[in-house]
Structure 1
Amino acid sequence: MGGPKALVELDGQPLVRRALRVLAEGGCTPLVVVLGASAERVAPLVPDDVRVVVAEDWAEGMGASLRAGLDALASLDVDSAVVHLVDLPGVTPEAVARLAAAPTSDAPGPDALARAAYAGIPAHPVLLGRSHWAGVRDAASGDAGARGYLRGNPAVRLVECGDVAEPDDVDTPQQLARLGHTTAPPPSV
């Protein structure tokens, strides 16, 4: 992308702010954002009411960010967390709300374990109840994040979100350009 994805703008809004807005409008509170590359450039874009955590070992991959986020959440009084990625601009507040509400009948609070699905295919965001955090943290490495923990886990509920969101991540300027007006991040210094 030529720089940190969090700084890339879509329709005049940096992806980090877009992702935080989607979570907030989807009903998530409190909000925690994990920053890595160019954290000092991204942090000023984060609203004051959002807790910022820096994954010092961010270069290791998504697993490092997930571990840092779960460590930060451990000190908060929350039973579960919705994990959302900055490079998924097609995820909507409706998908977040549906995911967060869906497991209440089968596995409420700390036992919740669910993934958004699109035409039955598991994707993001992911809902992790507190009782799963240690296992997810232990499994999170490289760019796999929680994938190893979730794959084949019988407790995972799929929550269909294909009617309210798009699961495609954006890894190139061309992919992002297909979504609308975009602005590349300023060059890294």
Structure 2
Amino acid sequence: MTVRTSYFGGLSSHDPADEDAVFGVVRYPQDFVERLTDRNIPAVAPPEGLLNAYKAVETAAESDGEANPAAVAWNSVKYERRYRKHLADPGPQNVIDELADRARERDIWLVCWEKDARWCHRRLLANAVVAQLEDVEVVHHPDPSTIPVGNGRDESDDSGEPGATLEDFAEGGA
């Protein structure tokens, strides 16, 4: 089995199988989320305070012309530490247990707004689910190594260098 992650815009190009379970993991779903997922689970979305802090710093970093506003925000608000703390709470932990049970039976998808898994809670959530399982891998769509580090969007960077991989990100700590 596999735990897959993607963003809503990427689902159409990665097309989950009919037997896969697709879960939205966002705090504020739009109407279309209901059509694209089997269900949305806000309990494992980032807490409102963390989400608001991240968005405020990301917006400021964009205004300041930072090359990678998402990375600036991620590091500035200590996103990973704070989100992992949230996942350790009883409510989110129960959801992680349920997701792990589902992942034992079929592939599951964790879907949210961010394209780049390096700067997204779904990467951390997927890792928490897989930590309870044997012989289950995490696959991110799109593969973070195909996204230039500079902006997390589709444009390529000017250097011609390939984007950093998720392993590069993990080695640097966060």
- The alignment's TM-score, normalised by the length of structure 2, stands at 0.32
Larger helix share, 1 or 2: 2
If asked which structure has higher relative contact order (CA below 8 Å, sep 6+), I would say 2
- The alignment's TM-score, normalised by the length of structure 1, stands at 0.30
